[in-house]
Each structure stands twice: as structure tokens, then as C-alpha cells.
Amino acid sequence: MVKENFYRSQRKTNLLNMYNNKPKYSAYGEILRPAHFQSKRAKVAVIPPNYKLFTSTRTINMNEITEEKEKSAYEVLIKKGQIPFSILSERKGKTKVEYRDIYKTKRARVENLLFSKRVDNDENQNAADISVTGNRTRVCEQDVVHEEDVLRPGRSKRIWNELYKVLDTSDVIVHVLDVRYPKMFLCRQVIEYIRANEHKNMIIVLNKVDLVPTAVTKKNIDILSKHFPTVAMHSKSLVNFYGKNNLMNLLRQYRKIHKKTISVGFVGYPNTGKSSIINVLLNKKSTKTAPLAGETRNWQQVKLDKGIYLFDSPGIIDIKDKSVSIDDLEYSSVLMGAVRVEKIKEPEIYVSQLVRIAKDGLEKKYKITIEDEDLFLEQLSQKMGKLNKNGQGDVHLVGKMVLNDWVQGKIPFWVEATEISL
């Protein structure tokens, strides 16, 4: 047996004893004395002397019962407890399980469960379309996916939690704006956060400057530079870019001012090019990018240089005016490229809004004269040869094509620079 000494620790000694220890067998091959690692008897377990283990749980006194009855006399009597009594009762007969409830996608099952919880908490349950089959209540699958949820991206609690993680962690905030309409892409809550935390700095990056004339970019820089340092950039690819050195020099200056290491967080609306700018700064594809909204789901950390760390965040949408209707917010979300085009059920509605604000750009892109905004898609589908079985123009397909071109910046459009109050 190996003993502990100057050259071996207790851990090493136990390991060697385990290797050297052998079981003792009888003449019939039975184990009389097991080895160190073959013993089936465990040590005696001792419960810690905690009084909480021996007290009652889920108890309520008479005063609390009286208060609950005064609030709602019927709810206390009808509401069941959380103890699963159904486990104690034996099942009578076999339960019938539908095939589609088992072998459908996981996402559909999760959405079905979430929707059922939403219906339980809704006060207007009569408006929900619920079909009852036997003793079971099943939510119709057609009500699981809500179009209004699709058209309101960047406003969920999870997205805002990810944003504030980046804001709290970063020393320098880089607010990425679309140079075609900077005022629309400003997030007021981020600016208020910077005003409240004066030890943090903010840089405004005007991205996609290759889509507007140089004079428009210069005017926007002159206006925004009065409030925060402003840099013009475009990050079309790792080879074709502009403004990388200006932003790098600015970040290095902040590193010298603050401390040896700084954290830089990139925030902004969806599809403004935050991840593309990070990839250009790193000169490699480090973060996932796509010409679609919502590609970044969670915040990511990458190292740029010695002492500079970058944080990418998912796109958020700030409701600037609380009096704005939901329809106007949905229109603005689609036209700002914050919604994926394939999720839009009626693209022709938003194309008619697009014709009103970018008529000249559409005529220049598709080389067509728009006489009536309602007949634009029909006219364009006839020119492109996108027809349905009846020989009529497929306005649904062409509408999605137009919105895709709009999101990718293929349709010329910009707003003249105006004064912005921050």
C-alpha cells in the first residue's frame, strides 16, 4: 500500500492505491472483498439540519383567504391548487392522441403552447377561435402565427434586454444610422441613456453613403457633428468599403483617453449594417451578416485590436411618438427594412406607400412611367412577364421583388438633410 510522503500528495496516493488494489475472489469466482472502485456500498448520507425541510409549504392563513374572497368570491373556490392530483387518480381507458400533435415541427408545438397561454390570460377569450373535440380543447393552428407580431420586430423584451446588456458593458457606443434618412433611424432611448451616463461616449456612423450623393452625406455630417462625433462609412463587402480608417483612429483615441482597454458597442435599427461594419473593421467575416432584418439574434463579442473589444447587438426599433398609430408603425417598419419580406402577407399594400415616397427612384430603377400608384404592380408585372394562370399580372410576387430591391438599396432614394434636435 502506497503512503503519503514528501514526493506524493494525498490525491496521487489515492490514485495509486486504486490501481494497486485488487478484489479477493472465492474458489467459485465470487467477490469476497471488492476493490476500491468496485464497492457498491455508499457512505451514510446526512441531511443538513435546516428547519425549512421540516416546515409546511404552500400554506395560507385565514386572513389571506378572506382578502382573496373579497377580491373575487368565485375565483378562490374554482381555482385549483398546484398539486398534481391527476397523478394519483388512475386513468380509465386509453387516451386518443392525434398524429399531427406529435409529428409536427417543434416550432409549431411551442407556438401552440404559447398561444394557449396567451388565450388563458386574455380577458376577451370569446374572440379566440378555439375548437373543442370531445373532452379536449385544441387551439386552431391558423391562429398561431400572428401577422401583427411579424410586423413589429425589434420591440420585444428580449431584444431590449440584449440592447441594455451592450449599453451597460460598453464604454463607447457606436450608433449606426442609414444615411438615406438619419432622422428616422435615430433611437431616442439610446441618446437619453448617453445623456444620463456622462462617462460614456457615443459615435454616430452614417452607413451606406454609397447610395446617396456626396453633398447629402456632407450636410448630414455637418448637422450631426454638432452633437456627437460623426463618421461616414459604407461596408458593402470586405473588399469594397469606405471610412474604416476614420473610425479606427477615433476608437484608438478613445482608448488612450479612457484606459488601456475599452469596450465598443454597436447599436441601431435592424438592417442598418452593424455587423457588416464590425466585419470590415476586423477585415474578416467574424459576425453573421445578411441583407435581411433580424440576422443578429443575440449580442456578440469580438476582439478588434489590443485593448479594443467590439459588441454587436440585435436591431431595435424605438417608438419615438406614442401617439402614432399601429398601422403607421407597421408601414415604417416595412419601409425601413426592419421586416423580412418573405414574412409579409400583402406586399402590394406597402408598395403603394413606397410609390408615394420614392416614385422617381422606382421609375429610374425599372425604367417605367408610373401613371397610377395602384396600377404600378400590374404594369410592372406585365413588363417583367410575371403572369399567373389567367394571364393577369402576379402582383403578389412582383410586390415582394420590389420590396427586396428596396431593402437591398437598389432603388435610389434619400431625404434632404434637415436640422435634428437631440
**Residue 55 belongs to a domain:** no
**Residue 165 belongs to a domain:** yes
Residues 196 and 240 both lie in one domain: yes
Q: What is the pLDDT of residue 415?
A: 85
Q: Which residue has the cell 385565514?
A: 62
Q: How far apart are CA 146 and CA 140, in angstroms?
A: 12
Q: Which residues of 280-292 are buried (b: 16+ CB within 10 A; e: fewer)?
A: bbbeeebbebeeb
Does the pLDDT at position 106 exceed 60? no
**Residue 106 belongs to a domain:** no
Task: Determine the average pLDDT of the residues in 264-271.
Answer: 88
The CA radius of gyration of the chain, in Å to the nearest whole number, is: 32
Is residue 417 within 8 Å of residue 181, measured between CB atoms? no
**Residue 398 belongs to a domain:** yes
Is residue 180 within 8 Å of residue 414, measured between CB atoms? yes
Q: What is the pLDDT of residue 384?
A: 85
Q: What is the pLDDT of residue 206?
A: 92
Could you tell me the three cell numbers for 232? 461616414
Total domains in the fold of the chain: 3
Residues 259 and 362 both lie in one domain: no
Q: How far is CA 70 from CA 66, 74, 80, 121, in A?
A: 6, 10, 18, 21
Question: Residues with Cβ < 8 Å from 279, sequence gap 6 or more?
Answer: 235, 238, 285, 286, 287, 289
Q: What is the pLDDT of residue 173?
A: 92
Residues 390 and 247 both lie in one domain: no
Give the pairing type, strands 172-178 and 201-207. Answer: parallel
Q: How far apart are CA 206 and CA 218, in angstroms?
A: 10
Residues 267 and 169 both lie in one domain: yes
Residues 305 and 375 both lie in one domain: no
More confidently predicted of 93 and 407: 407
- Per-chain mean pLDDT for the chain: 75
Does the pLDDT at position 343 exceed 50? yes
Q: Which residue has the cell 427586396?
A: 404
Q: Which residues of 64-102 are buried (b: 16+ CB within 10 A; e: fewer)?
A: eeeeeeeeeeeeeeeeeeeeeeeeeeeeeeeeeeeeeee
Could you tell me the three cell numbers for 247? 473610425
Task: Determine the average pLDDT of the residues in 321-340.
Answer: 61
Q: Rounded to 5 degrees, what are φ and ψ at 308? A: -125, 120
Does the pLDDT at position 246 exceed 70? yes
Q: Which residue has the cell 399567373?
A: 388
Residues 284 and 401 both lie in one domain: no
pLDDT tens sequence across 6-47: 788 888 888 888 787 888 889 998 888 888 677 777 777 777
Residues 305 and 379 both lie in one domain: no
Q: Which residues of 120-158 are buried (b: 16+ CB within 10 A; e: fewer)?
A: eeeeeeeeeeeeeeeeeeebeeeebeeeeeebbbbeeee
Q: How many other CB atoms are found less than 10 A from the CB of residue 409?
A: 19
Domain limits for position 370: 340-408
Q: How far apart are CA 314 and CA 323, in angstroms?
A: 26
- Look up the pTM and report it: 0.59
Residue 88 pLDDT level (bands cut at 50, 70, 90): low
Q: What is the pLDDT of residue 204?
A: 92
Among the residue ranges 74-88, 272-286, 324-338, 372-386, the one predicted with the least confidence is 74-88
Residues 205 and 347 both lie in one domain: no
Residues 306 and 175 both lie in one domain: yes
- The residue from 263, 292, 312 where one domain ends is 312
226: amino acid identity, one letter: K
Among the residue ranges 100-104, 140-144, 204-208, 411-415, the one predicted with the least confidence is 140-144
Residue 293 pLDDT level (bands cut at 50, 70, 90): low
Residues 243 and 198 both lie in one domain: yes
Q: What angle do CA 319, 322, 325 make, to 5 degrees?
A: 90
Does the pLDDT at position 315 exceed 60? yes
Secondary structure class of 102 (helix, strand, coil): helix
Residues 193 and 229 both lie in one domain: yes
Kindly provide the residue ranges of all beta strands, DSSP E only, lying in 334-405, ordered along the sequence.
Answer: none
Residues 306 and 345 both lie in one domain: no
